[in-house]
Amino acid sequence: MNKKLWIGFVAVFISWSVLAFVIHGVLLSGVYGSEDMMKVWRPDMQSKMWVFHVVTVVTSFFLTLIFSQWYTGRGVVEGVQFGIYSGFLMATPMAYSSYAMYPIPYSLALQWFLYGMVHFLILGIILALVFGKKQA
C-alpha cells in the first residue's frame, strides 16, 4: 500500500477524533447531560469508550482506502463530493436509526445528521489534500 494511504489514514483518524470531541464533547455536551438523556445512556458507558476508538480506527482506514480507489485527482472539489457521499452513507443511518430505536428527541437526531455531514465533508477535504491533485 502506498505512502499517501497511510498518511491519509492517520490524518483521518486524528481529524475524526478531534471532530468527535468538538461535536460530542463540546457542542452537544449540554444535550447529553440533560436528565432525560441520562436515562438513555448506559450506566457503564465510560468503560465502553474503547469501542468508539476501535470503530474510529477501522472506519478511518476503510474510508481512506475507499477514497484512494475512488479518487481521480481532481482536487478539493472531489474531496467535497466524497465527503457528501460518505456523510449521507454514514450520518443518515446513525442519526435516524438511533432516533427510531431510542427515546431521543428529534432535534438530537437532526443535529447528529447535520454535524455528521460536516464531519465527513471535512474528512473528504482532508483526504483530497493528502492525495493531492494529479498532474495533467
Contact 116, 63 (CB under 8 A): no
Q: Does residue 5 fall inside a structural domain?
A: yes
The fraction of the chain above a pLDDT of 70, given in percent, is 98
Q: Does residue 86 fall inside a structural domain?
A: yes
Q: Does residue 94 fall inside a structural domain?
A: yes
Q: What range does the domain containing 88 cover?
A: 1-20+59-136
Q: Does residue 8 fall inside a structural domain?
A: yes
**Among the residues of the chain, which ranges form H helices?**
3-20, 29-32, 35-38, 49-70, 76-101, 106-131
Q: Quickly tell me which residue has 468508539 as its cell.
A: 52
- Tally Cβ neighbours within 10 Å of residue 36: 11
- State how many domains the chain has: 1
pLDDT in tens, 71-117: 998 999 999 999 999 999 999 999 999 999 999 999 999 999 999 99
pLDDT at site 46 = 82
Q: Does residue 83 fall inside a structural domain?
A: yes
Q: Does residue 31 fall inside a structural domain?
A: no
Q: Does residue 117 fall inside a structural domain?
A: yes
Contact 67, 11 (CB under 8 A): no
34, pLDDT greater than 90: no
Q: Does residue 73 fall inside a structural domain?
A: yes
